[in-house]
Structure 1
Amino acid sequence: MQETDVIIVDGIDKDTYLNICREAVEYAVISIPFTYNRMGIRNLKKKISNIAKGKLAEGLFFYFCESNQIPIDKSIGQTPFYMPDKTDFVFQNAEWDIKNNFLYHKGNYLFKKYYKWLPGLIPHKSATDQWAKRNKLALSSTTEKRYLFTFLKAADSLDERKQLIDIHLSEKQEKYLTELCHQFRNNRRSKEQPFDASSFWHQFYQGENRAMLFRLKDFPQLIITGYAGPHQWHHFKDSGENRIWNNGLMRTVINNSYSRIHKLPAFASLVPHLKEGMERAHFSHPKGRRNPYLS
């Protein structure tokens, strides 16, 4: 793909963005007792924030697709909060998972560092991780598995400790969630509903201010780049653990299988009508606009 195929979603109003973020955070909260802790994070609030950041990218992408009449099906692969999703969405007879990573740079755009040189990452921590399952389908109606690579800016630098999504839990809320995590630690694959969602939220928010659950530090634009499927697997190789990418633009802890984005096809190539114009977004280096990387 070329740099001009990169989609920059930067036209979502703040109220909508906050609503998408709230849905992401609340999903992270109610699902935390049943979520696989791939990163080995011990701090409860950090674990919730980590899940929420991934769901934020997912929600922004769904909103972009809805705004631009891209016919994805996000309902067919979704499962209840206590079960892993089968897939993030279905599009063109393929199961898609969104693999979002966070960038560290100053300004809203990368400075003289093109998005196409970033790595697309698929977790490969063990023989049962997502890379190992890249050819396994969860749905009978689909023909292949694909991964979509997106990015969000997290902070100006890797040294910045402030979270993009800062989670606030009262002592009572933290105790309640900790007890649920302990109670269901060996029951994360059960198909039986462990508790009623409305009862959970009644207990969780009792005597608490819902508006105080999280603070969003910024409203970073979603960067939509390339995708990979069976025809691109040969581009991927192991990254190794604890890696700094592109002179500090990204950091990863676990081993991943990766390919540089420029070797992959662009998501935009699957939706050619976007070349005629987009809602809430634009292509990198659009005609008639100054190149943001050379500013």
Structure 2
Amino acid sequence: MNTVNRTEGKHTRRELLNRDRARMLISCPDRPGIVASVSRFLAEHGANIVQSDQYTMDPSGGMFFIRIEFDLEGLEAKLPQLKQDFSGVAQPFEMSWEIYRSNQKKRVAIFVSKEDHCLLELLWQWQAGDLYMDIAMVIGNHPEMAEVVEPFGVPFHYVPVTPETKAEAERRQIALVQSADVDLIVLARYMQIVSPYFIEKYENRMINIHHSFLPAFVGGKPYAQAYGRGVKIIGATGHYVTDELDGGPIIEQDVQRVSHRDDVDDLKRIGRHIERVVLARAVSWHLEDRILVHQNKTVVFN
């Protein structure tokens, strides 16, 4: 069964509207003159700033973060020279920086296991035009997810994972995402631990949804852990994946109240809604270049 991509016209209009718009993300040690230097540079190159958000972590000598959106006529042709010229501004301030075209969709791979609720939320929002991305593929370690993905016209790859075949399975997964030039990997309740080698290749470009309000209940069966502690609030956490299990920089979290009357199945049912919303938000903010990572924290301009 094939379906028409209902977002085609909507995305085309968006791309046309944003074809001359770019996003600049900067982090650097805080000191006077940063904003003035960046603004002057953009003005001298004919750019018009349309939005600017900034944050100083510990104003007495900490880090400075800024996200700027600007319009520049003929952006695509001018962008390489703009980046080259900006390096001269960035160096004295010790900036880490990136400039992204707003209409450049990121290519995304979604990893799943048996649970489909987070996967479906991403597919629905993508189809509606609310998540501005290209879904390059869905990779699952159970074949049943192919039936979920097929109506959306997205390629599905079944890569079984067992303790004995885990290393080979991961090599296949890496080959698939690299061949498709994937920018972002989303672990949509993918119930497998990813190797440090894989994580290193996609540092701050691999988002996981953990079904608890981290740092509480790290690891497996968090709803059972929560029930065992008699919690009155459960939650979900969207975070970047690092070598530390469920310990990467947190992007988004949400919670909902529960009671002593709720058993483990009730907690799972309530939690599924929180998980899908939190993951979609985290992915959306990454796609819109709203996140800056510093050490094990994030600054999210939303």
Same fold (TM over 0.5): no
Higher strand share: 2
Q: TM-score, normalised by structure 1?
A: 0.23
Q: TM-score, normalised by structure 2?
A: 0.23
Larger Rg: 2
Q: With a CA cutoff of 8 Å and minimum separation of 6, indicate the structure with the bigger relative contact order.
A: 1
